[in-house]
Amino acid sequence: MKYLLGFVIGIVGFQTIDAQNSPVKIEPVNFSKVNVTDAFWKPKMDLVATKTLDACIYQTEEKTGRIRNFEKVARKKGEKHEGIFYDDSDVFKAIEAIAYSIKTNKNPKLESKADEWIDKIAAAQLEDGYLNTYYTLNGLDKRWTDMSMHEDYNAGHMIEAAVAYYDATGKRKFLDVVIKWANYFDSLFGPGKKDWVTGHQELELALVKLYRVTNQVKYLHLADWLLSERGKKLAVGYTWTDWKDTLYAQDGVPVKQQKEITGHAVRAMYMYTGAADVAAHTGDVDYLKAMRTVWEDVVYRNMYITGGIGSAGSNEGFSQDYDLPNEQAYCETCASVGMVFWNQRMNSLTGHAEYIDVLEKSLYNGALDGLSLSGDRFFYGNPLASTGKNARREWFGTACCPANIARLIASLGNYIYGYKNNTIYVNLFVGSNTTFNLPKGDMQFNMSTNYPWDGAINCSLQMKKKMTTTIAFRLPGWASGTASPGGLYSFLQSKTEQPVLLLNGAPLAYQIKDGYVIAETEWKDKDVISYQLPMKVQTVTARSELSYNNNRIAFTRGPLVYCIEGADNNGKAWNVIAPQQTSFTTQNFTVLSENVVSLVASLPSIQINSDGTGANTGFQQVRAIPYYTWCNRGSNPMQVWLPTSFKDIRVN
Q: What are phi and psi of 288, to 5 degrees?
A: -65, -45
Dihedral over Cα of 637, 642, 646, 650: its sign? negative
**366 in a structural domain:** yes
Asked if residue 483 is part of any domain, the answer here is no
For residue 238, give Cα distances in angstroms to 248, 275, 515. 11, 22, 43
| Alpha-carbon span 477 to 538, nearest angstrom | 12
For residues 528 and 635, membership in a common domain is answered with no
**Residues 121/166, Cβ–Cβ less than 8 Å:** no
Domain extent at residue 455: 418-474+498-532
Domain limit, last residue, from 365, 387, 415:
415
The verdict on 544 and 461 lying in the same domain is: no
Q: Does residue 29 fall inside a structural domain?
A: no
Low-confidence residues in the chain, pLDDT < 70: 1-22, 234-245, 610-614, 651-652
Query: Which pLDDT score is estimated for 20?
Result: 35
Q: What share of the chain is helix, strand, coil (3-state, %, to 5)?
A: 40, 20, 35
What's the structural domain count of the chain?
3
State the pTM of this model. Answer: 0.94
Q: In terms of domains, do 621 and 546 share one? A: yes
Task: Determine the Cα–Cα distance for residues 570 and 590; give it in Å rounded to an integer.
Answer: 17
Shared domain check, 339 and 428: no
Would you say 204 and 270 are in contact if contact means Cβ atoms under 8 Å apart? yes
Let me know whether 511 and 375 are in one domain. no
- Alpha-carbon distance of 36 to 417, in angstroms, equals 11
- 470: domain CATH number is 2.60.420.10
Q: Do residue 432 and residue 573 come from a single domain?
A: no
281 closest CA partner among 18, 28, 21: 18
Q: What is the pLDDT of residues 209-253, one digit of tens each?
A: 999 999 999 999 999 999 999 988 765 565 544 455 578 888 888
Nearest to 179 by CA among 149, 151, 158: 158
pLDDT at site 650: 74
Residue 313 lies in a domain: yes
Domain co-membership, 203 together with 249 = yes
Query: Is residue 241 domain-shared with residue 373, that is, in the same domain?
Result: yes
Q: At what angle do helices 2-20 and 217-228 cross, to 10 degrees?
A: 130
Per-residue pLDDT, 22: 60
For residues 316 and 392, state if they share a domain.
yes
Residue 486 located in a structural domain: no
Domain boundary among 368, 384, 415: 415
User: Within this chain, do residues 254 and 321 fall inside the same structural domain, yes or no?
Assistant: yes
> Over the stretch 300-318, which tens digit does the pLDDT of each residue have?
999 999 999 999 988 899 9
Q: Is residue 296 part of a domain?
A: yes
What type of residue sits at position 326? N
Q: What distance in Å separates the CA atoms of residue 214 and residue 316, rounded to the nearest whole number?
A: 35
Q: Is there a domain that residue 400 lies in?
A: yes
234 plus 256 within the same structural domain: yes
Q: Which of 380, 400, 415 is the last residue of a domain?
A: 415
**Residue 371, in any domain of the structure:** yes
Which CATH number does the domain housing residue 143 bear? Answer: 1.50.10.20
Say whether both 393 and 425 belong to one domain: no
**Among 130, 281, 270, which residue's Cα sits nearest to residue 211?**
281
